[in-house]
Amino acid sequence: DAGITQSPRHKVTETGTPVTLRCHQTENHRYMYWYRQDPGHGLRLIHYSYGVKDTDKGEVSDGYSVSRSKTEDFLLTLESATSSQTSVYFCAISDRASTDTQYFGPGTRLTVL
Amino acid sequence: AQSVSQHNHHVILSEAASLELGCNYSYGGTVNLFWYVQYPGQHLQLLLKYFSGDPLVKGIKGFEAEFIKSKFSFNLRKPSVQWSDTAEYFCAVPNQGGKLIFGQGTELSVKP
């Protein structure tokens, strides 16, 4: 398995609170991604990064922000969590291109009450 | 815009049955095609991929997929499934913006 860790692995929070999820990789891959997985929707891209300090929006970016200050770390922040953001969040990495093989982290299960 | 369609949402098979899961996409410029598998409670793992060359691609655990350009399809097959193949399977293709998009997934249940 690729060296990808996510923290926390599980989190329960309340509506309106900020939440930050962390993805850490040891592969030195250029591209990093945040997806959410919901039943019936597959995986949907939230934000991605193509280098340090270089990020862009995916298809479901509203209510989320990201930061990448180091190659190995990609943070996802829910600025004010809502119940609709209850989901499983996966981080992924790829090396040479955004259409290259992506390797996934173990996921974070977030529940917003 | 690119779309990915997995026709079967839930497939139930008995062990030793043959499997074929459909995947169709709409953007003809696609070149990189993927199947991922997610075992219960785990993350997505690469099953197989097609980038170029022989359109019949072999992956791990006896899975294979055939790229048919004229049909915009990349169907996944396995001649004889096992109980351990119980999982959710995702097809993924790039969109015009160079990002992977995933199908809705097909849940496979294999009865022992």
CA dihedral A86, A87, A88, A91 (to 10 degrees): -90
* DSSP at A13: E
Q: Tell me what percent of the residues of chain A surpass a pLDDT of 70.
A: 97
Tokens of B19: 């499997």
Contact A97/B at CB under 8 A: yes
* DSSP at A85: G
Give yes or no for residue A99 having a pLDDT over 80. Answer: no
pLDDT tens column, A9-58? 999 999 999 999 999 999 999 999 999 999 888 899 999 999 999 999 99
Contact A105/B at CB under 8 A: yes
pLDDT tens column, B46-88? 999 998 889 999 999 999 999 998 899 999 999 999 999 999 9
From residue A38, how far is each of A44, A75, B8, B29 by CA, in Å? 8, 20, 17, 28
Q: Which of B31, B32, B102 sits opposite A43 (nearest CB)?
A: B102
Which of A93, A85, A76, A77 minimizes the C-alpha distance to A33?
A93
Tokens of B61: 């655990």
Cβ distance of A101 and B45 shorter than 8 Å: no
